[in-house]
Copies of this chain bind each other. A is one copy, B any other.
Amino acid sequence: MTDTEKVKRSGRPRAFDPEAGVAAATRLFWEKGYDAVGVAELAQTIGINPPSLYAAYGSKRELFARAVAHYAGTQGRFFARLDADGPAYETLISVLEDAARAGTGDATARGCLVLDGTRNCTDSGARALTAEVRAGLREKAHALIARDRPEVADSAADYFMFVLTAISGSAIDGVPLDRLMQDIALAGQGLGAMLGRG
């Protein structure tokens, strides 16, 4: 008995799908970054007026929070593999490669929303949102590494985030996927030396 059924309520029904609105907002935030996207632009892209946006989502920052969550569940879904119990080195490398693919996937993809979406952002709340997700990613990587090699988990998890940062920033700067794959292979040598590949 899944409770996803919509409860019938009084009042004028909403003329748009809030989840579809979040998806559209995610695209916009991803392409331009938090500060560079205006509320008027968000509303127009969703197909509504600003008051409807505020009624549905509360504020630009809360909509961004929804967008980050949506992004994590779609573009960033491959990070869930860090929770699996495969070999650490191979898992980390494959996640880095998927990150490169996601950050260069289509013409409008520009790096990673979580890593670079709030760079130079004036809203500290928005910055804190992405920072929390980044901390969660580091924690996942740390836990994966610590299962087999607890003594290098701190260093390796830091290095994983370091390389992730390079991937997102480079993707934004226009480095194509095949170059990113080369870079990941080179960066992976440091990871392999610490973790032992295989």
Contacts and interface: CB of A to CB of B under 8 A. Distances in A.
A182 B194 CA distance: 12
Contacts of A159: 182-183, 186-187
A116 interface: yes
B162 A165 contact: no
Contact of A163 (B166, B188, B189): B166
Nearest to A180: B162
Contact of A166 (B33, B169, B194): B169
B162 A187 contact: yes
A155 interface: yes
A69 interface: no
A165 B158 contact: no
Interface string A124-149: 00000001001000000000000000
A183 B162 contact: yes
A168 B158 CA distance: 14
A118 to B, nearest CB: 8
B115 A34 contact: no
Contacts of A134: 173
B194 A186 contact: yes
Contacts of A115: 169
A194 B193 CA distance: 15
A170 B179 contact: no
Contacts of A168: 169
A36 interface: yes
A191 interface: yes
A74 interface: no
Contacts of A131: 173
Contacts of A155: 182, 186
A175 B168 CA distance: 17
B162 A175 contact: yes
